[in-house]
Amino acid sequence: MKRVEEVPSLLEISLSHQERTGHLPQLIGDLIARLRQPEKAERPDTTSANDHGRVRFNQGYSVPMLVDESRLLQVSIFDTLRRHQEGIDLRTMMSGVVIIADECDAQLKDTVETFMDLEQAAHHDSAEPTRPKVA
């Protein structure tokens, strides 16, 4: 949240702590699932990124805001690893970093695809897309 509070564009939309972070437990769960099975080439089935795209669309986000949000999450995760690196095997940590980056980027892609599908549907439904605004 501290990092989010430093990005003015993200603060343009007033959200509660729950509204801003409610998707994180599932996303972290997806990351953990990937880390526990690094040999698997395919990602576990999940709809959390698609759900997140729908929620953020309805909250009035933009695609650049989604990218900023994902970037901040990765920075937070990697900074946490850096601060606790003395207790982590470097080889394990580096392979984990690759998996985390891949999963975060894959989740972002799924989120943006859902978001853009909703945007396109809104354009088709009317000349001007209508999205609820959060007060």
Q: Write out pLDDT tens, residues 58-102.
A: 999 999 999 999 999 999 999 999 998 888 888 888 888 999 999
CB of 44 closer than 8 Å to CB of 86: no
User: Residue 118 sits in which domain range?
Assistant: 4-125
Q: C-alpha 17: how far from its chain's center? A: 15
SS3 16: coil
Determine, yes or no, domain membership for 115. Answer: yes
Determine, yes or no, domain membership for 132. Answer: no
Tokens of 133: 């605004």
Determine, yes or no, domain membership for 131. Answer: no
Q: How many other C-beta atoms are found inside a 10 Å radius of the C-beta of residue 82?
A: 10
- Residue 115: C-alpha distances to residues 4, 67, 69, 79, 128 (Å): 20, 12, 14, 28, 16
CB of 53 closer than 8 Å to CB of 114: yes
Helix axes 48-59, 63-83, angle to 10 degrees: 130
What's the number of domains the chain is made of?
1
**pTM > 0.75:** yes
pLDDT in tens, 29-55: 988 988 888 676 566 667 889 999 999
Q: Which of 44, 9, 41 is nearest to 28 (CA)?
A: 44
Instruction: Say yes or no to pLDDT of 16 above 90.
Output: yes
Determine, yes or no, domain membership for 86. Answer: yes
pLDDT at 38: 65
pLDDT at 47: 82
